Amino acid sequence: MKNMRMTLLDIYWKTRKIIAPKLSYSQDIYEQVLKQYVNHGAIWLDLGCGHQILPAWREQEERRLVKGCKTIVGIDYDLPALQRHKAIALKVRGSITQLPFKDDCFDLITANMVVEHLDNPADQFREVHRVSKPGGTFIFHTPNAMGYFALLRRLVPNWLNIKVVSLLDGRRVEDIFKVHYKANTRKKIAEVASAAGFEVVKRRMIVSDAVFSVIPPIMIFELMWIRALMTEPLKPLRTNIIGVLRKPI
């Protein structure tokens, strides 16, 4: 099964070079953004850290990134995932709804594929704002609720979502959680951020690799649609958003 998946992915990479040669994986773009903000003096909190900050194949780069800050703390409610996290030493089991930290203590707060799971982003963004230092930055990478796969996920029940995502991503079922998409458009991000007291620095609309990369017939049409999304007129429908918010000084 693993060998078959690798063969299908090899077909995908070759096809991608032909149809969408300028396409970048959204996680690679997120990593580039992180590197602009991580510095040796930063006290960094990674929300919903799970068992990794970056994709598994970027483990060495993740370790270098972690070493580039003064202190990093990871928080997640999923204890087994926390226990598997290798890069972060300071790990806390807790909820974003009630962060167990004092006011104004983090220079940098990040959330990679977490915001879509927030059930009450208004309150949860306020908590992030509370623990951010004045002038601190909150960076998150999340799906765009107007993107085609987010729209598809909302059309099917959660139990089926879990099975489909597990098949397409090769992820374990226990690592897939319910999505809400309550702060996942440019407009909603601006509203929630403003209500929490943040300034919006950037809401970058990006595309990512094909979701159906291991299903060649669908993958070809998906890549053609992704290439179309890379044009300016379809920018609002791109698949992912990287948000950068700032707590005023």
pLDDT band at 159 (very low <50, low <70, confident <90, very high): low
pLDDT band at 160 (very low <50, low <70, confident <90, very high): low
The mean predicted confidence, pLDDT, of the chain is 93
Contacts of 50 (CB under 8 A, 6+ apart): 76, 78, 81, 82, 85, 175
∠ CA 70-74-80 to the nearest 5 degrees? 145
pLDDT reading at 74 higher than 80: yes
pLDDT tier at 91, thresholds 50, 70, 90:
very high
**Greater confidence, 171 or 224?**
224
Distance CA 195, CA 109 (A): 18
pLDDT digits (tens, 9 = 90+) for 197-211: 999 999 999 999 999
What local confidence, expressed as pLDDT, does residue 49 receive?
Answer: 95
DSSP one-letter string for 195-245 = HHTPEEEEEEEE--S-TTTTSHHHHHHHHHHHHHHTSGGGGGG-SEEEEEE
Mean pLDDT value across residues 139-161: 87
- In this prediction, residue 177 carries a pLDDT of 73
Q: Does the structure show a pLDDT above 80 at 223?
A: yes
Which CATH superfamily hosts domain 2-246? Vaccinia Virus protein VP39 (3.40.50.150)
Confidence at residue 171, expressed as pLDDT on a 0 to 100 scale: 63
- Give pTM, 2 decimals: 0.92
The domain segmentation of the chain, as residue ranges, is 2-246
**What are 2-19's pLDDT values in tens digits?**
688 889 999 999 999 999
CA–CA dist 27, 65 (Å, integer): 14
Q: 130: Cβ–Cβ under 8 A, 6 or more apart, which residues?
A: 99, 103, 104
Average pLDDT rounded to a whole number, residues 35-47: 97
> Looking at the predicted structure, is the pLDDT value of residue 69 above 80?
yes
